[in-house]
Amino acid sequence: MSDILEKISLAIQEGEEDEVLEHVDEALGEGISAQKILDEGLLHGMGIVGERFTSGDAFVPEVMSAADALNGATAVLKEKFIEEGVTSTGKAVIATVNGDLHDIGKNLVKLMLEANGFEVFDLGTDVKQESIVQAAKDNNADIIALSALLTTTMAEMGNVVKAIEEAGIRDQVKILIGGSPITQGFADEIGADGTASNAAAAADLAKQLI
């Protein structure tokens, strides 16, 4: 990794948005592509933050600071992606399911999906299954990402999967589920396509599935 990309990664890990933007501008000035800056600088740093969070060495405020820095940098890079002819990875509808108001995890996954080239339609929290199905239809979604933090709302994810099947679009979309109580076993049980341990892994899985 070049020095400037390492600086970008470290600044993301420290949640220093001004430094990230400064280093991104410097990297662009050196002729480094927006995609390389994203992959080897921004996402590298965010991946490390995600690993620290998973292991208990980082906490929500640190993750959010890193995410804000990443978000600011990806906004700057969007124009460069267009200039470089980088096409959209796909379309994703994301929501926290009906009965659940938690959104930190959902927001991080949204951010990582966008950073990986997805066009994301965020429906918010406490979203009814009918709204999720309709949004997937209206936006020709490739991915539906569902979040739940409560064991009492996990079952709603299964209801959404059934609603998607009944709407006749199950073969058109991949369904990802996530949240602290979610396991791969539960994903298999309700017929979802997978789950991931953190936001970066969720974005990687989404790319693999489509």
Contact yes or no for 42/22 (Cβ under 8 A):
no
3-83 CATH: 1.10.1240.10
Domain boundaries, the chain: 3-83, 90-209
pLDDT tens string, the chain, 210 residues long: the values are 689 999 999 999 999 999 999 999 999 999 999 889 988 999 899 888 878 887 889 888 888 898 889 888 988 887 787 777 767 789 999 999 999 999 888 988 887 788 777 899 999 999 999 999 999 999 999 999 999 999 999 999 999 999 999 999 999 999 999 998 999 999 999 999 999 988 878 988 999 998
- Res 46: pLDDT: 85
**In which residue are the tokens 């409560």 written?**
150
- Res 143: pLDDT: 98
- Res 193: pLDDT: 98
90-209 CATH: 3.40.50.280
CA distances from 153 to 96, 115, 143, 192, 202 (A): 10, 28, 20, 15, 20
